[in-house]
Amino acid sequence: MSEQSHYPSLNGRCYVVTGATSGIGEATARALIDQGARVVALGRNAEALSRLAEYGCETHPLDITDSAQLEQMIGGLGVVDGLINSAGITHVESALTLPAERIDAVFQANARAAAIAARCVARHMIEAGRAGSIVNVSSQASLVGLDAHLAYSASKAAMDAITRALCLELGPAGIRVNSVNPTVTMTPMAEKVWSAPEKREPMLAAIPLGRFAEMADVVTPILFLLSDEAGMISGVCLPIDGGYTAR
């Protein structure tokens, strides 16, 4: 981490990261370890969890939509200072052919699971009298219309609504809740998906900065929102999109 992205207030604190076995979740878990935090990494990929354990994370393989299992695990953690909701799935298909069961699956993974995880962590924090921060990893797809993204866009819009509702409800307990809303972010999977020039170039042309986000472009704002330096920021949905949603 660069000197500019070092947040001393994160040192020694404990954060739960969902979807920690890939992409932004994994990068965030590793960055928090670098900041001196204790990280509880949740996911379903055993091999990736093993790598995170070697990096210093406490790992738990589980399905976060199982609220009973999540509540039991959170209850045994001791002090918790916050949550990063990064678990989710993407499905791109025309609204005219999108099956109802696919809509349900995307909402369950992206919106329902985020609400359940936030509920479990917030209950634990409030019972311990602990203030802190929750960051939901949303998407620019919640802020603008995108072709063939009905289920994904709607689920991320729901996540942003969850952010605002929790901001009001948890604020009196000293728990801040925010979303980050990235554009295409260069995870290994995204690099494959956006490698074709006919797909990549039109999207880049719509981003005023003319590039996709790198992992650090998203992780650094997450760290900031978790830190005391963002102590008066709550209820925000922060575009990290190079200006895409300004059009």
Where helices occur in 14-112 by DSSP H, the ranges are: 23-34, 46-55, 67-75, 100-107
> How large is the greatest C-alpha to C-alpha distance in the chain, in angstroms?
53
Whole-angstrom Cα distance, residue 57 to residue 52? 5
Per DSSP, the residues of 214-229 read PHHHHHHHHHHHHSGG
Whole-angstrom Cα distance, residue 159 to residue 231? 21
CA distances from 230 to 9, 35, 78, 221, 226 (A): 11, 16, 24, 10, 7
14-18 β-sheet, strand order: 58-61, 38-43, 14-18, 82-85, 132-137, 175-182, 237-240
Whole-angstrom Cα distance, residue 94 to residue 88? 20
CA nearest to 230, candidates 162, 179, 155, 168: 179
Catalytic-labelled residue, pool 55, 152, 192, 199: 152
199 included as an active-site residue: no
Catalytic-labelled residue, pool 7, 15, 156, 244: 156
156 included as an active-site residue: yes
User: What residues act catalytically?
Assistant: 152, 156
